[in-house]
Every structure is written in C-alpha cells, then in structure tokens.
Amino acid sequence: MLQSSINSFKDRYKEKSNPFLGTYLLVWIIRNWKLIFSVFNFDKGIKLHDKLIIIQKHLPKDLTELFGNLFINILWALGILVLSYALINLSRFIVYTSEKVIRPFVSKLTDKNSVVLKTTYEKIRVERDELQNEVYGERELKSKMEQQIQVLQRENSSQFSQIKDYKSNIDHLQQTCQKLEDDLFNLKTEIDSENAKKITELEMTIVNLTQEIDTLSSITSTKQSSKNNIAQIIDSLLTDRTKTIRIENELKANGLDTKFIKVAQFIKNKNGFVSLNSDISIFINLHLIDSRQVETKTNTIFSIQYFLTDIGESVFNRLSK
C-alpha cells in the first residue's frame, strides 16, 4: 500500500513537474542534511523517545524561525533557479553564436566558393523561379500553338486532296468536252440539215459541260484562296511576345543586339531626326524601325524621321534589362 502511494506520487510529480519545487527541495535537503542523516542513521538501542528528541533539536522551535527558514530556502531556490537559467541561456547563446555566426564566418574565409550570403541565395532562387515560370508559360503556349497548327494542317491536307479531286474532274470534263467538240465537228461535216436538231442538242450539252467546268474552276480557286488564308492564320497565331522573343534571339545569334540598343537609344535621344548609315536597313527589314516624312518649318523640304515600332520597343526593353 505504501509502495503504491509512493509510485503514485512519483508519477504525478513527473507529469506536473515544477523546477521551483525541485530546486526548493534540493535547497531544503542541503540545509537540513543533519536531520536527514540522523533519521536514517540512529545508533542501535536508541529508544523512540530519544529519537524524537534528536529530531526536535533540528526542527524550528517557533513560527518565527519556521518562516525565517522558509524565506531563506525560497531565496536560495530562486537564486539557484535564476542562476541556472542564466547559465543555460548563456550556453545556448554561445552555441547559437558558434553555429550561426562564427562557423559561417570561418567557412566563408576558408572556402569562399561554397558559402554565399542568404540574400544572394534568395535573389538567385527568385530569379530561377521566375525563369522557370516563364519557360513553363512558353511551353504551354508552344503546345497550344502546335495543336492548332496540327488541326489547320489536317484541314489543309483535306482541302488539298479535294482540290486534287476537283482538278482531276476538270481534266476529265475537259477531255470529254474536247471529244464532244470533235464529234460535233465531224457530225457537221457528215450530216445534212435533217440532223440540225441533234447538232443543237450536242451544242447544249457542250454549253452545260462548259458551265460545269466554270463552276468547278471557281470552286478550285476558292479552295486555293482557303489554303492561303490558312497560311495567314498560322502566321497570326504567333503572338507579339513570341515574335519579340524570336527577333531577340535572332539579333543575339547574329551579334546585332548591342548595335540595335545603340541605334534605338540614338533614335530616342534625337527624336528620330538622325543621320544613320545603311546598316539601319537590317532593323527596318526586321520591322523593328520604321520611318516617315516630316515637313520642316519652311514647308518646302521634307526630312525623314525614324521611330521604333511596337515590336522594336518590346525588343529594346528586353535587351536593355
């Protein structure tokens, strides 16, 4: 029964441990060690009455002494507790300073290539994420454009096969018409006036066939124009952003990006009234620069003013970053 009570007290103390109570208990044991030692080390033959007298010698004689000892024990417990937590926090400060400040500083001095500032790392990580998002966007756009181009190519192939069928039908009808014309000519030379009715019927047949040929020819022309329209649709699928990126890569590949930046800055600073060499024709052909005639103050002479197109502005802004 006593053992179970002790175990229950231990379990409850572990669940609701208080550092102050533990410290106070330690202080009380140290200040009253003689009493504890005497309780567990009585000489043999000492009676209970004598034991109680020995224990009473170590206990407070009145309330003043009791509260005085209690107050001193509390002060000692608080002092030890404060000192303990101060030493713990001091040790943590030393450990964290060594880990977070001294070790990175030493590593930076000994191996500069493997250690970078956190701000530099975060900046590079943000730029990497932005580039990845841009690449993903371009890939999605490219995938959609490829799907649309495949659909248009299938439609183009279908219409091209129809055009071939119409052309073959036209050729067959033209051969038939030629044969009928030959037959008509032979009949005109061989028959007399009694067969005029038959000749008239043949002529009507030829007229109908000719009209059918014209109809098929117009259909063929319509299909051919549809093919051209499909090519224009494919070209229009290229967004301004894609055109800008394509022209930017073309300038970089030909080593013209630096030259274009200088020319664009010159045009912007001079408001387009500049005297440029013939190399500007390269950028005019790429639709990056355009020109217009401006009337001078005398109203008799026209000068050429150059300016950046919308695509030219986009390419200049991307190259200037």
Structure tokens belonging to residue 215: 């109809």
147-236 and 240-320 share one fold = no
| 294 beta partners | 303
- Give CATH for domain 240-320: 1.10.10
pLDDT score recorded for residue 89:
92
Where along the chain do its domains lie?
2-110, 147-236, 240-320
Q: What is the mean pLDDT of residues 115-125?
A: 75
pLDDT category of residue 234 using cuts at 50, 70 and 90? very low
All residues at 6 or more sequence positions from 84 whose CB lies less than 8 Å from its CB, including other chains = 23
CA 4 to chain centroid, in Å, comes to 65
Query: Mind listing the pLDDT tens digit for each residue in 186-212?
Result: 777 776 666 567 667 766 777 677 777
pLDDT category of residue 249 using cuts at 50, 70 and 90? confident
Structure tokens belonging to residue 269: 């600073």
Percent pLDDT > 70 in the chain is: 71
Distance separating alpha carbons of residues 248 and 279, to the nearest angstrom? 17
Greater confidence (122 vs 41) lies with: 122
DSSP annotation of 195 reads G
Structure tokens belonging to residue 297: 């103050």
Q: Which amino acid is at 10?
A: K
CATH 1.10.3470 is right for the domain spanning 147-236: no
- For residue 182, the tally of other CB atoms under 10 A from its CB is 10
Q: Quick check: 231 pLDDT over 50?
A: no
Residues listed for the chain: 321
Structure tokens belonging to residue 293: 């005639």
DSSP 79-101: HHHHHHHHHHHHHHHHHHHIIII
- Asked which of 167-176, 248-257, 259-268, 289-298 is least confident by mean pLDDT, the reply is 289-298
pLDDT score recorded for residue 68:
80
Query: Mind listing the pLDDT tens digit for each residue in 163-190?
Result: 888 888 888 888 888 888 888 777 777 7
